[in-house]
Chains A and B, each alone.
Chain A
Amino acid sequence: DAKTTQPTSMDCAEGRAANLPCNHSTISGNEYVYWYRQIHSQGPQYIIHGLKNNETNEMASLIITEDRKSSTLILPHATLRDTAVYYCIVRVGDNYGQNFVFGPGTRLSVLP
């Protein structure tokens, strides 16, 4: 699976959009981009994933560049409860023989 690079930490004002970048320049054509977050020491929570097209769900939007070498997770209206570590993961789909590799992630602090 391709490696990902994320900023160590970011701040965002409450109510503003939080844009979390991820670089995955060695991504292959069949690899998906996943985002998870971990609030304090809770179990990591699935947010969203995509292959090529931009995706949106009730939690966030995922914007993937046309060359697929980077992506951005957007939390449209960040709240204090969005303070967490956000992980960007690249993984081949439909493969039960590989694990999800979690890097250090981005520590997002939403400030009042």
Chain B
Amino acid sequence: DSGVTQTPKHLITATGQRVTLRCSPRSGDLSVYWYQQSLDQGLQFLIQYYNGEERAKGNILERFSAQQFPDLHSELNLSSLELGDSALYFCASQGPGNTIYFGEGSWLTVV
């Protein structure tokens, strides 16, 4: 158990819909990362937050957005969903050291 909690574990939704994925980092960790992993692709970095502030951005689509709240949990919002958005979405948190620890992911299926 990495200490990073992601909800929901599984989600099925229709094209065009909007979903929110939630991540609770390890206790005391200030930084949160979001990654996407499709079936035929590796781990793609989406975005990183540190103490509520966006710090780095990867190939995140404009239909996707994220935020980190004062209690340090983070949410990834995916809108106007397409079939190609079906993937595993991972959250990771980073504490005072340099290592990041991943949650178990949220499986999103768009039908």
List residues of chain A with CB under 8 Å of any chain B CB.
32, 34, 38, 41-46, 49, 87, 91, 93-105
Contacts and interface: CB of A to CB of B under 8 A. Distances in A.
Contacts of B105: 41-43
Q: How large is the interface on B (under 10, 10 to 19, 20 to 34, 35 or more residues)?
A: 20 to 34
Contact of A49 (B2, B58, B90, B99): B99
Nearest to B45: A99
18 contacts: A41-B37, A44-B92, A44-B102, A49-B99, A87-B43, A94-B98, A95-B98, A96-B30, A96-B48, A97-B48, A97-B50, A97-B56, A99-B48, A99-B56, A99-B58, A100-B33, A101-B45, A105-B42
A12 to B, nearest CB: 22
A41 B87 CA distance: 11
Contacts of B101: 46
A95 B33 CA distance: 13
B110 interface: no
A97 B53 CA distance: 10
Nearest to A38: B43
A97 B55 contact: yes
Interface in B9-23: none
